[in-house]
Amino acid sequence: MLKIDEVRGVVIAEGPEGETVHRLDSPEAFSLVSKAWVRCGWDTKYVYSFSWMGRPVIQLPEDMLRIQEVIYRVKPDVIIETGVAHGGSLIFYASLFKAMGKGRVIGIDIEIRPHNRSAIEAHEMKPLITLVEGSSVAPEVVGAVGAMVAPGETVLVLLDSNHTKAHVLAELEAYGPLVTPGSYIVATDGIMKEVVGAPRTAPDWDWNNPLDAAAEFAANHPEFSLEEPEFPFNEGVVTERVTYWPRGFLRRK
């Protein structure tokens, strides 16, 4: 149980081992409150309320800002994203590339609904976006996407399609080889493991999730390391992301 006492300026956590009290200005308090906030946001579908340049983007805003920091540092020539949905994240990445003066985005989905395709193709950012329809792990799709990457190009990959452990592992195996040293392949939505029992969850999410897939992939691929990107700027005491993508960043060494 968590209690926030704003008058005293503390957060009180009650657990099996008793009560702990943390000042509101401590990173421990921030972490406890953030975990409760993320769970509440999951239950209320908070992330289903944002758009980017007119297209719905179903992501936690902090995740988008943090991946922007990574993209600006890595400066990839290509971002490959599995999972298109409404196309908001593709538009977001393309707009970053537009501002940076380089880069393009490849979006893959087993089904790109006609109204979403039409909206993406009519968008100002469409010249920087290529849509590929088909299973992200189908050999012909993996081969076609690989052929779109020129030798020497820097590649960053984001996995945001089917979030079962088996599918994410298959995507990691398929697209990991395209990732260039110093860049990342990101298994998004590992939050599934942390919200088991909440609305819109399944009992097997305690193991059947992207977080466990990323850990297994890292254990079997020494060329990758599970590595949280550092904050390029931080004058506060908080050092951990508030995220739906916990422990999902795999950096190619």
- Render pLDDT for 97-153 as a digit per residue (tens, 0 to 9): 999 999 999 999 999 999 999 999 999 999 999 999 999 999 999 999 999 999 999
- 15 — pLDDT class (breaks 50, 70, 90): confident
**Overall pTM surpassing 0.85 (yes/no):** yes
- What 8-state DSSP symbol labels residue 191? G
Instruction: Note whether 86 and 116 are within 8 A (CB).
Output: yes
- Render pLDDT for 59-109 as a digit per residue (tens, 0 to 9): 999 999 999 999 999 999 999 999 999 999 999 999 999 999 999 999 999
Tell me the CB-side half-sphere exposure of residue 11, using CA atoms within 13 A. 18
pLDDT confidence of residue 103: 98
> Does the pLDDT of residue 17 top 90, yes or no?
no
Dihedral Cα 209, 211, 214, 219, nearest 10 deg: -110
What's the mean per-residue pLDDT of the chain?
Answer: 97
**Distance (Å, whole) CA 87 – CA 54:** 10
Residue for token pair 């805003």: 61
Provide the percentage of residues in the chain whose pLDDT is more than 90.
98
Domains of the chain are 2-43 (no CATH), 50-252 (3.40.50.150)
> Which residues face 132 on adjacent strands?
108
pLDDT confidence of residue 76: 98
**Distance (Å, whole) CA 16 – CA 101:** 54
